């Protein structure tokens, strides 16, 4: 080792018989192959592929895994193996050594071979660029007369957000402007009253009436058939607006049997099939073809049996195609009663258990058409209004006229108590009566005889008074509300009131 340049940093191979030199503290240095500074890999500054012997190539000391050189670690120092000038091949330099260049550590020039990962902005705890909230706009400072002039625009919601904030802040401090703002808001409400987007149910009737006043029809429709004509047209307009999938929407038909609620599940198309089946009874009475002639027994013209027979006979559930035959039948009925000149009103229409005159049967069909149209509208979430007031009045009048017969039928089967009179009231004579007061559009008052269907209602023999809304009474007669749920004002004989309300519910049927 004599003659070596003390400033030469290049590693040198140890002499074969070199003795270990003293350590940095004056202690004997360990052999490079066994020392803690030994490391795997190429020599510092050497070629990985050269065949030189380097103790660090085969060393397995602790410094190889940890990369930390111990005192005196090195492959070959300038002053001998393990001397103070040695450099670790894979670890940090010991005292007096040079850091190794293995892995991602710094090279000979001090720069890392592999760049370290860049820190994310989110990890630095600093706010992201552009996320600082914008400062709120400075409030407007306006004079009193300017703010007062903005009250009209504020009432119409025509002010900018800044002006709106300034006006509303001013209204909290100025009582005169606050009163003026309230008056302007009320005036705006009068200028834009809320209106439904649906057409007035009486619009069709008024338009037709105006047309007929100017040019009378050659074949007029009898007045008692007009409600049926109007309600079928309204239902057809509803059916025209619904989509194909809504024809399969579930609908539950509801009615009362022997004071018990009864229901039947079907679809929108099934309801129209039901109307087609029952309207056919009126067609049969008028001599028209029966759409269920091959499915039902003509000697048993029950609405429920006809409907069930039609549903059973259909190979597929009723669909949108049922609309065309139903509408054709309604047109045929109205046209036929028009051809009779109104003289067929007394013709009997059999419903199986009872018979109604044709004029009352057409009202009954108009009533059922409206009730089931509401069922359909509820199933498809469609707004639907009650009939025109004069048509509603005629339907209520029919139900009121049928109540004495319903009371007698309930009394015969034991659903109502016997009449307190000692003898039956003769037909055409006054007897105990209940005053039925119907409020709202289409309302009126009726005196219902309680003891006999042939008796005459009399105010002198009034024992009870019931008040109901017109639409509520119709829903009670349709079986859509129970007698207990009917919002009725009641005065007088409680038993008579209960019997009449239950009799009204018994008018319902499938």
pLDDT digits (tens, 9 = 90+) for 12-26: 444 444 444 444 343
Radius of gyration of the chain (CA): 51
CATH architecture for segment(s) 401-506:
2-Layer Sandwich (3.30)
Asked if pLDDT for residue 502 goes beyond 90, the answer is yes
Rounded Cα–Cα distance for residues 353 and 62 (Å): 109
Hey, which of 86-95, 338-347, 434-443 has the most confident mean pLDDT?
434-443
Per-residue pLDDT band at 336 (split at 50, 70, 90): very high
Flag the least confident range among 164-178, 209-223, 272-286, 475-489: 209-223
pLDDT score for 207: 86
Distance between first and last Cα of the chain: 122
Q: Which long-range contacts (CB under 8 A, 24 or more apart) does 414-419 make?
A: 415/258, 415/259, 415/502, 415/506, 416/499, 416/502, 416/503, 417/495, 417/499, 419/450, 419/451, 419/452
Contacts of 85 (CB under 8 A, 6+ apart): 74, 77, 78, 79, 96, 97
Flag the least confident range among 18-27, 199-208, 260-269: 18-27
Per-residue pLDDT band at 192 (split at 50, 70, 90): low
**Mean pLDDT taken over the chain:** 77
Of residues 204 and 434, the one with the higher pLDDT is 434
Rounded Cα–Cα distance for residues 141 and 491 (Å): 66
What strands lie across the sheet with 430-439, from one edge to the other?
444-449, 430-439, 456-469, 489-492
Distances (CA, A) of 359 to 166, 298, 303, 345, 394: 68, 22, 18, 5, 11
Flag the least confident range among 140-149, 169-178, 271-280, 338-347: 338-347
* Domains in the chain: boundaries: 144-191, 216-379, 401-506
Q: Where are the alpha helices (DSSP H) in 83-225?
A: 144-149, 151-155, 161-171, 175-191, 203-214
Rounded Cα–Cα distance for residues 331 and 476 (Å): 29
Look up the CATH superfamily of 216-379: dinb family like domain (1.20.120.450)
Interhelix angle for 494-506 vs 389-412, to 10°? Answer: 110
Asked if pLDDT for residue 456 goes beyond 50, the answer is yes
Contacts of 317 (CB under 8 A, 6+ apart): 248, 267, 269, 270
What pairing do the DSSP bridges indicate for beta strands 430-439 and 456-469?
A: parallel
Evaluate whether 319 touches 329 at the Cβ level (below 8 Å).
no
pLDDT score for 68: 38
Distances (CA, A) of 179 to 171, 183, 188, 384: 9, 6, 14, 40
The answer to whether domain 216-379 and domain 401-506 are alike in fold is no
pLDDT score for 330: 96
Asked if pLDDT for residue 337 goes beyond 50, the answer is yes
Rounded Cα–Cα distance for residues 500 and 492 (Å): 13
Asked if pLDDT for residue 181 goes beyond 80, the answer is yes
pLDDT in tens, 82-127: 444 343 344 444 444 444 444 444 555 555 566 666 655 555 556 6
Per-residue pLDDT band at 510 (split at 50, 70, 90): confident
Asked if pLDDT for residue 40 goes beyond 70, the answer is no
């Amino acid at each position: 080792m004599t003659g070596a340049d003390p400033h030469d940093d290049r590693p040198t191979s140890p002499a074969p018989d070199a003795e270990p030199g003293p350590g940095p503290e004056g202690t004997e240095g360990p052999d490079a192959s066994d020392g803690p500074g030994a490391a795997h890999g190429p020599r510092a500054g050497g070629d990985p592929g050269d065949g030189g012997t380097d103790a660090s190539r085969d060393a397995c000391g602790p410094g190889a895994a940890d990369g930390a050189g111990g005192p005196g670690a090195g492959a070959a120092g300038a002053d001998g193996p393990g001397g103070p000038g040695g450099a670790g091949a894979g670890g940090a330099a010991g005292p007096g050594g040079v850091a190794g260049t293995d892995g991602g550590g710094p090279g000979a020039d001090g720069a890392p071979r592999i760049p370290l990962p860049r820190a994310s902005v989110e990890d630095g705890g600093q706010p992201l660029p552009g996320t600082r909230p914008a400062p709120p706009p400075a409030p407007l400072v306006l004079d009193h007369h300017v703010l007062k002039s903005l009250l009209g625009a504020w009432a119409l919601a025509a002010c900018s957000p800044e002006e709106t904030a300034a006006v509303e802040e001013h209204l909290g401090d100025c009582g005169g402007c606050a009163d003026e703002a309230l008056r302007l808001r009320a005036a705006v409400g009068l200028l834009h009253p809320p209106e439904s987007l649906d057409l007035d149910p009486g619009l069709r009737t008024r338009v037709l009436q105006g047309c007929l006043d100017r040019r009378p029809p050659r074949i007029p429709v009898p007045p008692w058939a007009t409600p049926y004509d109007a309600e079928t047209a309204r239902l057809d307009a509803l059916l025209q607006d619904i989509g194909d999938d809504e024809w399969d929407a579930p609908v539950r038909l509801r009615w009362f049997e022997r004071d018990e609620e009864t229901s039947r599940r079907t679809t929108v198309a099934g309801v129209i099939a039901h109307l087609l089946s029952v309207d056919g009874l009126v067609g049969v009475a008028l001599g028209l073809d029966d759409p269920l002639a091959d499915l039902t027994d003509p000697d048993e013209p029950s609405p429920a049996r006809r409907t069930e027979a039609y549903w059973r006979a259909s190979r597929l559930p009723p669909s949108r195609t049922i609309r065309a035959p139903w509408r054709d039948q309604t047109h045929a009925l109205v046209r036929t009663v028009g051809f009779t000149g109104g003289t067929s009103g007394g013709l009997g229409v059999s419903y199986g258990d009872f018979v109604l005159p044709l004029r009352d049967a057409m009202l009954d069909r108009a009533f059922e058409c409206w009730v089931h149209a509401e069922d359909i509208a509820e199933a498809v979430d469609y707004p639907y209004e009650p009939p025109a007031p004069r048509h509603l009045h005629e339907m209520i009048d029919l139900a009121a006229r049928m109540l004495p017969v319903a009371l007698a039928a309930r009394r015969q089967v034991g659903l109502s108590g016997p009449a307190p009179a000692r003898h039956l009231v003769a037909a055409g004579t006054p007897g105990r009566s209940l005053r039925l007061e119907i409020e709202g559009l289409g309302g009126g008052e009726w005196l219902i005889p309680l003891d006999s269907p042939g008796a005459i209602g009399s105010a002198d023999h009034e024992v009870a008074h019931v008040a109901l809304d017109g639409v509520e009474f119709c829903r009670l007669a349709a079986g859509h509300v129970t007698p207990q749920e009917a919002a009725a004002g009641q005065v007088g004989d409680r038993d008579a009131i209960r019997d009449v309300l239950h009799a009204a519910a018994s008018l319902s049927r499938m």
